[in-house]
Amino acid sequence: MNHSKDTVVNNVLWNRLISVCEEQANALLRTAFGAIVREAGDLSAGVFNSRGEMLAQAVTGTPGHVNTMAASVSAILNILPADTLVPGDVLVTNDPWIGAGHVFDFVVVSPAFFNGKIVGYLASTSHIVDVGGLGWSAEGRTVYEEGVTIPVMHLRRGDKLNEDLLSVVTANSRVPHEARGDILSLLTSNDTGIDRLVDLMREYTLATLDGISDFIFSRSAAATRTALEKVPAGTYQNSLQLDGYDAAIELQATMEIGGGLVSVDLAGSSAALERGINCPLNYTAAYAAFGIRALLTPDIPNNHASLAAVRITAPPNLIVSAERPAAVSARHVVGQALPDLVLGCLEKALPGKVIAESSGALWTIALSGAGPSKFTSLNVALGGMGARSNSDGLSTTAFPSGVGAVPVEAAEIAAPLIYHSKEFVADSGGAGQFRGGLSQQIVIGSRIDEDISLSAAAFERLNAGPAGRQGGKAGAAGYVAISDGTTITDKGTYVIPRGETLILRTPGGGGFGDPKKRKKEAVTHDVSHGLISEESADKNYLLVNEESTNETI
């Protein structure tokens, strides 16, 4: 076989591995019990080589899951090594410092045996709605209050399911049937992935994955290095302020670029808090790396080699590097702001080429019954993406997490809620030559005339909206209130009295470029479609340069 033919075959194998992961993820979507996984895609799936290094990931999934999982498999195998495993074994943990940053995310790892030897691993991660403790809340002072933690152990030994482990989880869960079903759906998705991987190896008469591993990693490392070398070498700094819990928190980054590497030091960020918005370093690294790769290496598949070129560090016990037993339930409030933080550094290296700030933290709508009827409902509210150098920002898009929202119909079937409205918020996208993405307003109430409990843990950017770039204006800040006049300004727990409704208005994306350079027809289109008001058009776009040749997308 000549070199050219080898390259073609290896590229086919590479794409087939991605297909294996995608089928694995689809199996999880089909079997998951929780709507946040089944409908919103809050999951990840991947295939790893025999050394526990990630070869490929599913297209479906979130950076917070897949990039933490890239490190989780090796960490799990350090505790239960490969030589202790037999066919059929499945390992599991929800330890925040090994898995995906909080106790609600379970990581399941299954060795793939072929001809009596481990040739690789299939791993998957998803969100389990409730595992005890305070539930979805930022009010915990330590991780011990946030739910049961499962250390690395067997979910299945050979063909025997670990019912003792499942009993511990279900005994601590308010929705035991759903919790058990979601954990088993992870196991099932891995089994599907193993079957497809073994089929692939038989089809191509592969004894191991070593050859394709070398091909994937060498190509990814070389392409990543080439892309990073196009960025001016140097040291770049940026800071970002978030609402925090009781007081604002500061995120700081010093980025060094050179030699085909990007290193980010988060020293100077605020100290860890006695509240559940702390972020373990593994989750921090996942989202910071995503922000860098999304701009600099977007066309290079995510794997062990492409991720190795980005290094994220922080001194211990900061809000971005919280250590056990810090409370971490709403760690994504901080974690998902990190792409904007590192993109702010890159704006100084590549001025005019970086997306404006986006709404950032995914607004988790965590509602439960505060009256006689007990239920737990988890959904997400999406904000606007920042505008780019050549196009408007996407509206109501979960960037950087990439998940969708649970459809209203599914949410209302799963819990006694009614979604009275869900609509774009006019003028919420930051003005600019290219407008920021619009946010949305959602109004929710009870359909059984009972009180509802709300955790405001994930509501962020209520004080100031995402910043624009290159003269673009900031997106609108978020707003949360109860129809009785209560305005929600922190991340505590609230009761929505029966007969009242919850009003959510997510942040909009920042604008890009001088608003005066926006094309007149783009402004007219936005006004005619209700995306901006006539007042905003007059205030922000009065001096429109009609001869501008820029086009919105």
Going from N- to C-terminal start, the domains of the chain cover 3-208, 228-353, 355-553
The percentage of residues in the chain with a pLDDT greater than 90, rounded to a whole number, is 89
Q: In what order do the strands lie in the sheet with 43-49?
A: 54-57, 43-49, 117-127, 105-114, 90-93, 153-157, 160-161
Residue 282 neighbours by CB distance under 10 Å: 25
Q: In the predicted model, what is the mean pLDDT of the chain?
A: 94
pTM: 0.93
- Say yes or no to pLDDT of 2 above 60: no
Helix axes 176-203, 163-172, angle to 10 degrees: 140
Q: Would the pLDDT of 447 be above 70?
A: yes
pLDDT confidence of residue 112: 98
| Contact status, residue 387 vs residue 358, Cβ threshold 8 Å | no
CA separation, residue 444 to residues 244, 379, 451 (Å):
25, 11, 12
pLDDT band at 553 (very low <50, low <70, confident <90, very high): very low
Q: Are 422 and 408 in contact (CB under 8 A)?
A: yes
486 half-sphere exposure, CB direction, 13 A CA radius: 14
DSSP label of 487: B
Mean pLDDT over 333-341 rounds to: 96
- Residue 274 has a pLDDT of 95
Q: What is the pLDDT of residues 160-172, one digit of tens each?
A: 999 999 999 999 9
Three-state SS letters, 376-391: EEEEEECCCCCCCCCC
* Helix, strand and coil percent figures for the chain, each rounded to 5: 30, 20, 45
Q: Whose CA is closest to 94, among 42, 150, 173, 163?
A: 150
Q: How far apart are CA 495 and CA 493, in angstroms?
A: 7
Round to the nearest angstrom and report the end-to-end CA distance of the chain: 46
How many other β-carbons are positioned within 10 Å of the β-carbon of residue 216? 26
What pLDDT, on a 0 to 100 scale, did the predictor assign at position 367? 95
The average pLDDT across 322-334 equals: 96
